[in-house]
Amino acid sequence: MAQLDIIGLAKRYGDFHAVRDVSLSIKDGEFLVLLGPSGCGKTTTLRMVAGFIEPTAGHVTIGGTDVTVLPPWKRNAGMVFQNYALFPHLTVNENVAFGLQMRKLPKADIAKRVEETLALVRLSGYGGRLPRQLSGGQQQRVALARALAIHPDVLLLDEPLSNLDAKLRQEVRVEIRELQRKMGLTTVMVTHDQEEALTMADRLVVMSEGLVRQVGSQRDLYERPADRFVAGFVGRSTFLEGTLEAPGRFRTDGGLAVACAGDGAGRAVLSVRPERVAVGPSSVGGPNTGLDNSLPGTVEFVSYLGALIDIHVRLSPSDRMVAQIANRDGAFVPEVGQPIHVGWPASASQVFKE
Amino acid sequence: MTDTAIAHGPVVEKRRGEGLTAAALLTPATVFVAIALLAPLVILFRYSLNEFVPARKMMVEAVTIANYIKFFTDPYYTTILWTTVRIAVLVTAVCLVLGFPLAYVVARTQSRFKNLLIISIVLPLFVGNSVRAAGWMVVFGNKGFVNASLMGLGLIDKPFEIMFTEKAVIIGIIAVNLPFMVLSLQSVIEGIDRSVEEAAFSLGAPPATMFWRVLWPLALPGILAGTILTFILAMNAYATPFLLGGPLFKMMAPLIYNQFTQQTNWPFGGAIAFILMTVTLLLTVAANLIIQRRAAR
């Protein structure tokens, strides 16, 4: 296990910048998740760490050693691929033993290590099978065992759960996280699934267009998103376009005056998390409610999600707001077409200048 | 009861219809193979057991293995068989060694010119063997383009002997067979996931180790198909050895043709044909067993 440092890493294909100047420092034993939409450069970054792609600029160091120019087979980085990439002609035992044979360990040690690692991923007794005789979840665990067996300095996970069905995914998520913590593995995972990212990571990196948008904890990203992209990508936000007229005073393009927590002035966009918005049959604001804003509107759409209910409210011809309310006894659930009020505290909104 | 009978009736009928369709689809090819391949082979085999009277150039009905004995006891003929096997093995090996990297590149390329690349590999096959050989005679002959130019420039005194040598035949057959090898390998390599190679690298395998432990065993079906195809084609090569080898160079296929047409010795020609077929078959099976056992190890 070791610290992993990515310093000013960039990759250019002709005129296309896949990754621009990414710098990250992953502490020994930390689980870092690279999160972003497809094409944001997260996989390219991971593959540069693994050594499959040569960076155009920048460095990668593992445990203080610069590995930028080392080929992948000299890096001691365990990788789990999206499609598992098991060797189809080798048994489970042979798959897991492969990396150990490359390290020229004595046969007895290899057998012992293979057995231990398979026990770790709860696949004892499956060693003699071929990959095609296993279920998707089992194949995924073999891929993990194969990467863990070599005792890698860093563990790299490239969308490792995307080929599993939803229920299995939740289980494996917890399993991988527990293993990683137990073994103290420095881990980088790439995913586009924010729920996956939020549940597994110690720290997250949001990327888009080859750039790091924000690095931080789950709470940092959710409550203090650095820009409009992060606010929209991590969790959900309603955006109101408009102008910041004065510190704390925002006017939407639809003409609504809104109290907010922003400084400065100029064109801006106001974002509000749906679950921070209250709804009521009449004005929900007032001195004791803590809601600085209370605006009238008409319900356009109600979407029932079970535990939660989304209510889409038209505030003005160009402004629409989503409120998410808990489905509790006695909760006020309006119907489509009903005139209602929505309200939220100024502190629940964020202003991003354009 | 009535309900089930009604429910089952049409299903059974449909099944029967499918069976008939399948039979109808299989029949033409089966009949064609029977008439065009099996029947001549059976008749030829029967001929090979007949006697030949050289004086009258006539076939006489008999049941004898004299023709087979004649082939294997006369060093003239066994040398030809040996030459043929040697050349076929060499050609197949060279095709595999030259073909694998090419097939790999074609299989892995992301270029939009990939189809063009494949066509350019197949392109040589558009030119018939005889046409190609004739072209080579013009270029590489003792008074051909290359020698005439070099001698004209005073670079050499005597022409390079390229034509009518074993080398010319080997190069000629390789040129014909390489596309078959490349296409067989390429289609199989394309089916091997690139990330499997990367997984081997990430586990510490350098490229050569990755090749022998991962790529080679996974490409084995293509390697077998390619080598079998190339070997059979080389064993049976006719036009290339005939045209590029010259009158003194002998391989099996031209020998058979010669027995049938020049000598009109059908029994002996038939015997040689069966010897060639059997040797090809035995060597192919043996090589496959060896390669597959290696891979299973």
SS (H, E, C) chain B: CHHHHHHHHHHHHHHHHHHHHHHHHHHHHHHHHHHHHHHHHHHHHHHHCCEEECCCCEEECCCCCHHHHHHHHCHHHHHHHHHHHHHHHHHHHHHHHHHHHHHHHHHHCCCCCHHHHHHHHHHHHHCCHHHHHHHHHHHHCCCCHHHHHHHHCCCCCCCCCCCCCHHHHHHHHHHHHHHHHHHHHHHHHHCCCHHHHHHHHHCCCCHHHHHHHHHHHHHHHHHHHHHHHHHHHHHCCCHHHHHHHCCCCCCHHHHHHHHHHCCCCHHHHHHHHHHHHHHHHHHHHHHHHHHHHHHHC
Q: Distance (Å) from the C-alpha of residue B213 to the closest C-alpha of chain A? A: 9
Q: Do A79 and B199 touch (CB under 8 A)?
A: yes
Q: Do A87 and B200 touch (CB under 8 A)?
A: yes
Whether residue B16 is predicted with pLDDT greater than 70 in this model: the reply is no
Q: Say which residue the tokens 């290590």 belong to.
A: A113
Using an 8 Å CB-CB cutoff, list chain A residues near B294: none
With beta carbons less than 8 A apart as the criterion, state whether A60 and A9 touch. Answer: yes
User: What is the rounded distance in angstroms from the CA atom of residue A283 to the CA atom of residue A278?
Assistant: 10
Same domain, A187 and A287: no
Q: Do B203 and A83 touch (CB under 8 A)?
A: no
Q: What domain range is A339 assigned to? A: 241-353
Using an 8 Å CB-CB cutoff, list chain B residues near A50: 198, 202
Query: pLDDT truncated to tens, each residue of chain A (354 aa)?
Result: 689 999 999 999 999 999 999 999 999 999 999 999 988 999 999 999 999 999 999 999 999 899 999 999 999 999 999 999 999 999 999 999 999 999 999 999 999 999 999 999 989 999 999 999 999 889 999 999 999 999 999 999 999 888 888 888 888 888 899 999 999 999 999 998 888 899 999 999 999 999 999 999 999 999 889 999 999 888 888 999 999 888 888 999 888 888 888 777 889 999 999 999 988 887 777 666 778 888 899 999 999 988 899 999 999 888 999 999 998 888 888 889 899 999 998 888 888 887
Interval B139-155: pLDDT, tens: 877 777 878 888 888 88
C-beta neighbour count of B292 within 10 angstroms: 12
Q: Based on the structure, what is the number of domains in chain A?
A: 2
Among the partner-chain residues A52, A71, A150, the one whose CB lies closest to the CB of B203 is A150
Nearest CA in chain A to B198: A52
Among the partner-chain residues A71, A87, A99, the one whose CB lies closest to the CB of B214 is A87
- Name which of A87, A104, A105 to mutate to probe chain B: the one with the most chain B Cβ atoms within 10 A of its Cβ: A87
In a domain, A236, yes or no: no
Q: Do B217 and A86 touch (CB under 8 A)?
A: no
Q: What are phi and psi of B112, to 5 degrees?
A: -80, -5
CATH number, domain containing residue A224 = 3.40.50.300
Q: Do A78 and B202 touch (CB under 8 A)?
A: yes
Using an 8 Å CB-CB cutoff, list chain A residues near B213: 98
Is ipTM strictly over 0.90? Answer: no
**So what's the pLDDT on residue B296?**
60
Hey, is the C-beta of A46 within 8 angstroms of any chain B C-beta? no
Same domain, A68 and A160: yes
Same domain, A155 and A251: no
Same domain, A171 and A82: yes
Residue A153 burial class via C-beta count within 10 angstroms: exposed 0-12, middle 13-18, buried 19 and up: buried
Computed over every residue of chain B, the mean pLDDT equals: 86
- In this prediction, residue B1 has a pLDDT band, given cuts at 50, 70 and 90, of very low
In a domain, A162, yes or no: yes
Residue B125 burial class via C-beta count within 10 angstroms: exposed 0-12, middle 13-18, buried 19 and up: middle
Same domain, A216 and A270: no
In a domain, A81, yes or no: yes
Same domain, A225 and A136: yes
Hey, is the C-beta of A163 within 8 angstroms of any chain B C-beta? no
Q: Do B193 and A85 touch (CB under 8 A)?
A: yes
In a domain, A19, yes or no: yes
**CA distances (Å), B13 to each of B2, B10, B22, B26, B192, in order?**
17, 5, 14, 20, 43
Same domain, A192 and A59: yes
User: What is the rounded distance in angstroms from the CA atom of residue B193 to the CA atom of residue B186?
Assistant: 13
DSSP-H helix ranges across chain A: 42-50, 92-102, 107-120, 136-149, 166-183, 194-200, 218-223, 228-233
Same domain, A213 and A260: no
Q: Distance (Å) from the C-alpha of residue B48 to the closest C-alpha of chain A? A: 46
With beta carbons less than 8 A apart as the criterion, state whether A238 and A271 touch. Answer: yes
Interval B58-78: pLDDT, tens: 788 888 888 899 999 999 999
**So what's the pLDDT on residue B177?**
92
**So what's the pLDDT on residue B12?**
53
**So what's the pLDDT on residue A347?**
85
Using an 8 Å CB-CB cutoff, list chain A residues near B206: 71, 73
**So what's the pLDDT on residue B172?**
87
**So what's the pLDDT on residue A293?**
87
Q: Do A102 and B198 touch (CB under 8 A)?
A: no
- Name which of B202, B214, B218 to mutate to probe chain A: the one with the most chain A Cβ atoms within 10 A of its Cβ: B202
Q: Do B202 and A87 touch (CB under 8 A)?
A: no
Q: Which of residues A171, A194, A229 is at a domain's end?
A: A229
In a domain, A235, yes or no: no
Whether residue B5 is predicted with pLDDT greater than 80 in this model: the reply is no
In the predicted model, what is the mean pLDDT of residues B159-170? 81
In a domain, A132, yes or no: yes
Hey, is the C-beta of B93 within 8 angstroms of any chain A C-beta? no
Hey, is the C-beta of A113 within 8 angstroms of any chain B C-beta? no
In the predicted model, what is the mean pLDDT of residues B212-240? 92
Interval B227-272: pLDDT, tens: 999 999 999 998 888 888 888 888 999 999 988 888 888 899 999 9
Pull the structure tokens for residue A176.
């991988």
Among the partner-chain residues B198, B204, B218, the one whose CB lies closest to the CB of A102 is B204
Same domain, A309 and A193: no
In a domain, A234, yes or no: no
Q: Do B202 and A83 touch (CB under 8 A)?
A: no
Q: Which of residues A177, A201, A229 is at a domain's end?
A: A229
**So what's the pLDDT on residue B22?**
82
**So what's the pLDDT on residue B129?**
76
Q: Do B196 and A87 touch (CB under 8 A)?
A: yes
User: What is the rounded distance in angstroms from the CA atom of residue A109 to the CA atom of residue A20?
Assistant: 43
C-beta neighbour count of A157 within 10 angstroms: 26
In the predicted model, what is the mean pLDDT of residues B209-231? 93
Please name the amino acid found at residue A250: F
- In this prediction, residue B14 has a pLDDT band, given cuts at 50, 70 and 90, of low
Residue partners of A265: CB distance under 8 A and separation at least 6 = A243, A244, A245, A246, A247
- In this prediction, residue B295 has a pLDDT band, given cuts at 50, 70 and 90, of low
Q: Do B195 and A89 touch (CB under 8 A)?
A: no
Q: Do A99 and B203 touch (CB under 8 A)?
A: yes
Same domain, A200 and A249: no
Between A143-152, A268-277, B127-136, B202-211, the lowest mean confidence (pLDDT) is in B127-136
In a domain, A77, yes or no: yes
Q: Distance (Å) from the C-alpha of residue A32 to the closest C-alpha of chain B? A: 20
Measured in residues, chain A has a length of 354
**So what's the pLDDT on residue B151?**
84
- In this prediction, residue B6 has a pLDDT band, given cuts at 50, 70 and 90, of very low
Whether residue B187 is predicted with pLDDT greater than 80 in this model: the reply is yes
Pull the structure tokens for residue B100.
């694998």
Hey, is the C-beta of B54 within 8 angstroms of any chain A C-beta? no
Q: Which of residues A229, A255, A277 is at a domain's end?
A: A229
CATH number, domain containing residue A252 = 2.40.50.100
Same domain, A284 and A209: no
With beta carbons less than 8 A apart as the criterion, state whether A301 and A312 touch. Answer: yes
**So what's the pLDDT on residue A284?**
76
Same domain, A259 and A145: no
